Each structure stands twice: as structure tokens, then as C-alpha cells.
Amino acid sequence: MSLTSAELLPRPASEEVRFETQADLRHDGTLGEARLVVTTERAYRYEHTPAGELLIASYDLKSLKNPRLEDLVDAHAVVADFEGNEVELIRMTSRRSLLAAGAEKRLQALVKGEEMPEIEDNVRVCPKCSRPLPEHSDVCEGCVNRGKTLIRLFQYAKPYQGRVLWGTVLALGGTVLELGPPKLTQWLVDDVLIHRKASLLGPLVLGLIAMRLLVMVVQIARGRNVAFLGMKITVAIRGTLFEKLQALSLNFYDKRNVGSIMSRMTNDTGALYDVLVDGIPVLLNQGCMIIGIPVALLIMNWHMAVWALIPVPFVLVAVRWFRRKMMRVWSRFWHNWSRLGGTLNGILQGTRVVKAFHGETREVKRFDRRITELAHTGYLAESAWSNFFPVVMFTMSLSTFVIWWTGGRSVLDGEMSLGQLTAFIAYIAMLQQPLMMLQRIIDWSSRALTAAERVFEVMDTPVEIRNVEDAVRMPKIHGDVTFSDVHFGYDKAREVLHGIDLKVKGGEMIGLVGHSGAGKSTMINLLMRFYDPTQGSISLDGVDLRKIDLEDFRRQVGVVLQESYLFPGSIKDNISYGRPEASLEEVIGAAKAANAHDFIVTFPDGYDSYVGERGQRLSGGERQRIAIARAILHNPKILVLDEATASVDTETERMIQEALERLTDGRTVFAIAHRLSTLRNADRLVVIDDGKIAEVGTHDELLALEGGIYKKLVDMQQEVNRLRENYIAEE
């Protein structure tokens, strides 16, 4: 967007600054510091340049009209109308969307001559790396402490402290046993082969066999122990994660795809199981070896041990560097894996749409891009390992060369026995193994800790919809509902409802009417407490919904959503989902009330018929009637119908309307319907327009309003019906 030729005026010192907004994009879209300063008289746009801060534009505040937020590619701009032209006041990246939204709201208030609202729009950043902090969290994902993550992971082992202690004993015992053979080999060479003590040959060989047998037994016991611990800990983590997923509000799921969430439940927790079963035992064993072998070398000959261990510090430093690199690589790997899962899930769920629009080739190409990205990231990880491992092995092999040189001279000079040299070289060879495994352990730990952070990220997500302390128990409700100055937006930068005020008496049927996107379903979502208002409140029988015990509230509210969802299972199981203890007679009664009984009994298995994945074995109208029967059996005091008759034909709709008329008595009903004729019998109709209540009244009262929104909607629908009837007649 090019700048207008507005007159650039310096800001007089007498002008009072009303607010200031910092931005990170210049007017040409490049990164750079900028700011919008709004005073009592004008709006000033500044940008930082190498020469200093430059005044880019200045606008008379009284001439600015209709300030608004405009979405750009990964950015937002605050624009306004100025002297017949659209001008851009400030631009910033999406990470600062809250700042842009705050500037929009403040400008709107100033232009209208209203008091500026108090808005929390500070962009919180990490003090270490300056990355934006996640919402509701002060933990930076880029600077998270891996050690704390590991400690937190092992908190799940607390119930099995005995097993953990037993595993530690096995690890230490196994290390001692594995350090024994080189010493026995020294005695075999020095005492048996050189000094000809034949009587020691048998006992020493038997000792070697016994040690190997004991090592085998320890390895078996250790493997079984860690397999048990890994299984128990993984079950605990998955159970906790799933419990947290069930507790999270819909706002969490709105921002994530199903594939990403499933990846955390399956792939990430699976990686934790792998490292617990395969990585931790190796880490304990090889860690003990890394400590035990140098101690044994120092005891044998500390002069040679110093020479032999010179490469070890360099290897450890290289390992630390390599670990940091691999953490970044595996973070990208799991991100790409999550994207692949989301893509696959979307394609499989939309198979009918893909085939209907001949999108197979396009989806194959898109999936190929995802698997290529994943494979490339995996290739980078394995390539890094392939490059690093040989270098480490060569560095450690230098110790062997040094020992052959210095040890060989010591043997020739009589300062060291041949058996000692043999044992020394054996220990050096053994030291290479744990150092080699240490690299693979780093690889495992990088995967596991990255996966653990992704799992803990979900576990640490605040539960927005939850019981407050001292929640009000309401086992029985009357059904009076009051919306008081309710504001809400799914995104903080975009408000959907603007000050809804509505009082509904218990037993009243309310029809919600309006254009698509006006906010009808959003009102229902707030009433169901899927979300909480960002401003204002909704009360039930005079008590704020946020203070009512959730279990009591949900037990007395039934809902039939626009998209009826059925679980894989029988028809009976789906109808009785809200009341699993309901008898077959009660299920049949609910089905009859929803006019579903007649088609159910035509199936070979009747109420035991399998509905298929998402109820695909039933038609749309049949699924909708099953969902209505589910709500009826729930026997709610408040009944919510969100386009409940959207997927049924006219005859079925008539039958459902008859059932709803019988069910309305004694219940508070909120109904949304795209066929306005179905709301004729509502006690009141509430017309929603652009997130506000525009009209309230009965069907006849609203039809009498000349130029009213409801009358226009009815007229449009009647015109569509006439065109349809004429088309059918012509056919």
C-alpha cells in the first residue's frame, strides 16, 4: 500500500499524546522499527532509518474515518479513510496482532469522541532470546531447561521407586562384572602364560565364564525391569495427556489440527517409551562404564591413564555441541511429522470431496511435499550422526596408539608387565564402546526430550473452562438465562459479539435468526459454556455460568449441533451417550419422540445396528434424528437446537417440529434454524446482525416491521421457494 501525500507536520509539544503503538514493519513491508503516535490533534507515523527516526506521514485526527484492521500476508495493517483515500497508519507482523487490534480499537474510540478502552496488548517476549512468549505462559520453548524436562519426566517413576532402586543396583553390579574380565586376562597372561602357573589356568577360565554368565543374567533382569518401568510410565503419561485433552476448552482445539494432537498422543509418547526402554538402560550402564573404566586405569597405572584419557574431554565437549545441534534438528523433525499427520488426517476425512472435485493428483503432490520435508529432516539428522560418529571414533583410537607406544616402551624397559599392557588396551577398547553409545544416547535423548516438551506443552496449557473454587452446586435449575453486555471473539484481535443483552425466562422458546456469520452459533457456544465471554457475563437463575459447578450445569443442558456427530458403535449406544444407564425402553421412547423409531426398526439389528465411522452408514436426516433422540433422553432443562433440522427433508422436519412442540413444555429452548418457518411457534425471535441484537419480537411482530431485517430474510426465503417451485413445475 503506497503512502498518500499527506502534509508532514512536526508534532507540537503542546499536543497531548493519547497512545503510542510500536510496530516491526516499514511501509514498504521490510522489517524495521516503526511507531504510530496519536495525539489529541493528529496521528503521526514514524520509521527508524540509519539516519535516525523519520516522520513518514501525518494526518488530522478529525479527518480520519472508519479506522479498521486489514489482514495482509502474515501481517496486519491499521488503515483508515482520509479525504476520500484509504491510508495506512501502521503495519506490523502477525506476532504483534494484539498491538494492531488495540490500536484499531483506540482509534475507533477517539474518532467517535468516546473514551479509549483499557486494552491489555503488550507483546511479551523472552528476556533471553526475545522470542514472543506463548499465551498464558512465561516459559520460552526455545530456552526451556532440558534438565528440568528430564527431571519432570522421571516424576512419573515415583510410584515405582523400588523398581528404580533395583535397576540402579543392577546397573552398578553389571558395571563391576564387566570390568572384571580384563583383570582376569592380565593374570592369565602374567601368571599362567609367562610364569607357567598351570594350576591357575582352570580357575581363571572358569572365572571368565562365570562373569559372562552373571553379566548375561544381569542384562536380562535389567531389561525386564526397564521394560516394566517404561510400560508403566508411558501409560501414566498417555493417561494424563488424554485426561488433559478432555479438560481443555474448544479454544485449544480451534488453534490446532487433529493430526498434530494425535501425533503428540502417539508418536511423541511412543518416542518416550523407546528412550525409557532402550535409552535409559544404556545410559545407566554406559555412564557407569565411563566412570568405572578411568578409575580402573588410574589404579593400574596413573601415568599411562593420563595419556590414555587426554582425548576424552575433547570428545565430551564435542558431544555437548552435537546435542544442541540435534535438539534443533529433531524439533524440526517432530514439527514436520505433526504437519504430515495433519495433512493425512485432512485428506482421509475429506476423501469424498477430493474425489468429487478430482483432487487426487493435487493431494498426492501435497502429501509428497510433506513426506519429502519429513524425509529431508530425518536425512539431516542421520547425516549429522554419520559425520560425527567416525570423527569421535578416530579421536578415541588415538588413545590406543598412545598406549601401544608408551606401554610398549614400559614393557621393554621392564616397568610394566605384558599382562598389564593387555588389560590396559582392553580397558581402552571398552571405553570406546560407552563413548560411542553416548553419541547414540544423545540422539535418543534429543528425540525424547523434544517429544517430552511437546507433550508437556499440552499438559501445561491452562484449562480455561473449569470449576472455580467454591463452585455453586445447582442440581436443579429453573432455566432463566440472562446475557449481560456479552462481548466475545474467538481471536482477541477479532470480536464476534458486541454487547449482547438478553433476558430469557424459564420455559421460554427463543429463536435466533440472522445472516450467516452474524453470531448466532457463537451465542450458543457461550451458553453451552464451550467458551467464556471476554467481557460481560451469562447467568443461569441469577448465577454466573462461570461460578456454577460444571457437572451440574452440563447434566441439565442438552444440545443438537449443526453437525450431528455419532460415535462408532450401535444406535442404542449413541442415543444413550448422555445417560449410559438408560434402559432400552427409555431409549426407544426418546427415539419415538424424535421420530427416529420407525427407520431404526427397519434395520436388521434394530437398535443394535452399527452406525459406522462418524455415522456414515446412516443418512444425514437419520443421523440428525439420532442426535435429537440423544438430547431428548438426556432430559435437559435447557435445550439447544443449532440448525437441528438442517439435514432433514420437509416431511421429517414437520415430524421433528411436532416432537419439539411436545418437548418445549417446561424447558428453556434456544433454536437456530435456516428455515425461518420452523421458528413460527417460538415465544420470541431474536435477530442477530453483525454481533449485535437488532430486533426482538414474535414472528408476526417482526414481519410487521417495514424494512426490518427479519422481514427481509423471510421475503428472500419466500422468493427462493417460489423460484424452486417454478423450476419444478417447468420440469
Choose the weakest-confidence range: 122-131, 277-286, 295-304, 337-346: 122-131
Q: Is the pLDDT of residue 206 over 60?
A: yes
Cα–Cα distance, 398 to 83 (Å, whole number) = 79
Q: Is the pLDDT of residue 402 over 70?
A: yes
Cα 98 vs. chain centroid, distance in angstroms?
Answer: 21
Same domain? For 98 and 170 the reply is no
Nearest CA to 349 among 477, 262, 233? 262
Query: What mean pLDDT do residues 671-689 have?
Result: 81
Domain boundary among 459, 493, 519: 459
What H or E segment, with its residue span, contains residue 72?
strand 64-72
Domain boundary among 416, 435, 459: 459
Q: Tell me if 701 is assigned to some domain.
A: no
Query: What mean pLDDT do residues 722-728 have?
Result: 67
Q: Tell me if 661 is assigned to some domain.
A: no
**What type of residue sits at position 533?**
P
User: Residue 555, by phi and psi: left (phi above 0), alpha (psi -120 to 50) or beta?
Assistant: alpha
Sort strands 668-672 and 638-642 into parallel, antiparallel or unpaired: parallel
Cα–Cα distance, 313 to 328 (Å, whole number) = 24
Query: What mean pLDDT do residues 76-100 have?
Result: 84
We report the CATH number of the domain holding residue 86 as 2.30.29.30
Q: Is the pLDDT of residue 296 over 70?
A: yes
Residue 19 CB partners (closer than 8 Å, separation 6+): 38, 103, 106, 116
Domain count, the chain: 2
pLDDT of residue 649: 62
pLDDT of residue 624: 79
Of the chain, the end-to-end C-alpha distance in Å amounts to 52
Domain hosting residue 104, numbered range: 17-111
| Cβ-based neighbour number of residue 269 at 10 Å | 22
Q: Tell me if 599 is assigned to some domain.
A: no
Same domain? For 222 and 344 the reply is yes
Cα–Cα distance, 103 to 494 (Å, whole number) = 13
**Is residue 117 a contact partner of residue 105, using CB atoms and an 8 Å limit?**
yes
Q: Is the pLDDT of residue 4 over 50?
A: no
| Cβ-based neighbour number of residue 226 at 10 Å | 23
Dihedral sign (CA 699, 702, 704, 710): negative
Same domain? For 316 and 435 the reply is yes
Q: Is the pLDDT of residue 431 over 70?
A: yes
Same domain? For 320 and 420 the reply is yes
Query: What mean pLDDT do residues 54-79 have?
Result: 84
Confidence band (pLDDT; 50, 70, 90) for 433? confident
Confidence band (pLDDT; 50, 70, 90) for 481? very high
Same domain? For 177 and 264 the reply is yes
Cα–Cα distance, 357 to 346 (Å, whole number) = 15
Q: Tell me if 120 is assigned to some domain.
A: no
**Is residue 276 a contact partner of residue 292, using CB atoms and an 8 Å limit?**
no
Cα–Cα distance, 245 to 463 (Å, whole number) = 9
Choose the weakest-confidence range: 152-161, 170-179, 187-196, 262-271: 262-271
Same domain? For 192 and 79 the reply is no
Percent of the chain having pLDDT more than 90?
A: 8
Same domain? For 265 and 319 the reply is yes
Query: What mean pLDDT do residues 560-587 have?
Result: 84
Confidence band (pLDDT; 50, 70, 90) for 144? low
**What type of residue sits at position 709?**
I
Strands laid side by side in the 638-642 sheet: 557-560, 638-642, 668-672, 509-513, 684-689, 692-697
Confidence band (pLDDT; 50, 70, 90) for 135? very low
**Is residue 419 a contact partner of residue 189, using CB atoms and an 8 Å limit?**
yes
Q: Tell me if 438 is assigned to some domain.
A: yes
Backbone angles phi, psi at 562, to 5 degrees: -60, -40
Cα–Cα distance, 328 to 324 (Å, whole number) = 7
The more confidently predicted of residues 285 and 580 is 580
Q: Tell me if 476 is assigned to some domain.
A: no
Cα–Cα distance, 461 to 459 (Å, whole number) = 6
Strands laid side by side in the 85-93 sheet: 64-72, 75-82, 85-93
Choose the weakest-confidence range: 303-317, 559-573, 645-659, 676-690: 645-659
Q: Is the pLDDT of residue 441 over 70?
A: no
Q: Which residue's C-alpha cell is 503521526?
A: 44
Query: What mean pLDDT do residues 234-241 have?
Result: 86
pLDDT of residue 3: 40
* Bridge partners, 53 (sequence order): 48
Choose the weakest-confidence range: 232-236, 570-574, 663-667: 663-667
pLDDT of residue 137: 44
Choose the weakest-confidence range: 99-108, 513-522, 646-655: 646-655
pLDDT of residue 136: 41
Domain boundary among 459, 481, 497: 459
pLDDT of residue 10: 58
Q: Give the cell for residue 61.
A: 485526527
Same domain? For 221 and 281 the reply is yes
Query: What mean pLDDT do residues 245-252 have?
Result: 80
Nearest CA to 680 among 503, 501, 513? 513
| Cβ-based neighbour number of residue 291 at 10 Å | 12
Confidence band (pLDDT; 50, 70, 90) for 374? confident
Residue 574 CB partners (closer than 8 Å, separation 6+): 566, 567, 611, 615, 626, 630
Residue 505 CB partners (closer than 8 Å, separation 6+): 479, 480, 668
Q: Tell me if 384 is assigned to some domain.
A: yes
Nearest CA to 683 among 694, 705, 668, 695? 668
Cα–Cα distance, 217 to 230 (Å, whole number) = 20
Choose the weakest-confidence range: 32-46, 391-405, 580-594: 391-405
Cα–Cα distance, 594 to 27 (Å, whole number) = 59
Confidence band (pLDDT; 50, 70, 90) for 128? low
Three-state DSSP state, 568:
coil
Highest mean pLDDT out of 5-19, 203-217, 655-669: 203-217
Q: Give the cell for residue 213.
A: 554368565
**Is residue 62 a contact partner of residue 48, using CB atoms and an 8 Å limit?**
no
pLDDT of residue 673: 75
pLDDT of residue 630: 87
Same domain? For 367 and 241 the reply is yes
pLDDT digits (tens, 9 = 90+) for 175-203: 888 888 888 888 888 887 888 888 888 88
pLDDT of residue 142: 55
What H or E segment, with its residue span, contains residue 274?
helix 269-274
Same domain? For 89 and 159 the reply is no
Query: What mean pLDDT do residues 348-363 have?
Result: 73
Residue 717 CB partners (closer than 8 Å, separation 6+): 675, 676
* Bridge partners, 45 (sequence order): 36, 57
Three-state DSSP state, 195:
coil
pLDDT of residue 229: 83
* Bridge partners, 352 (sequence order): none
We report the CATH number of the domain holding residue 287 as 1.20.1560.10
Same domain? For 91 and 179 the reply is no
pLDDT, averaged across the chain: 79
Query: What mean pLDDT do residues 196-217 have?
Result: 87
Helices (H), 17-160: 97-111, 146-154
Helices (H), 413-512: 418-459
pLDDT of residue 663: 64
pLDDT digits (tens, 9 = 90+) for 314-327: 777 777 777 667 76
User: Full-prediction pTM beyond 0.75?
Assistant: no
Q: Give the cell for residue 158.
A: 515415583
Q: Tell me if 637 is assigned to some domain.
A: no
Query: What mean pLDDT do residues 709-728 have?
Result: 76
Same domain? For 52 and 166 the reply is no
pLDDT of residue 15: 78
Cα–Cα distance, 211 to 583 (Å, whole number) = 66
User: Residue 399, by phi and psi: left (phi above 0), alpha (psi -120 to 50) or beta?
Assistant: alpha
pLDDT of residue 725: 65
Cα–Cα distance, 655 to 593 (Å, whole number) = 9
Backbone angles phi, psi at 43, to 5 degrees: -115, 125
Q: Is the pLDDT of residue 127 over 60?
A: no
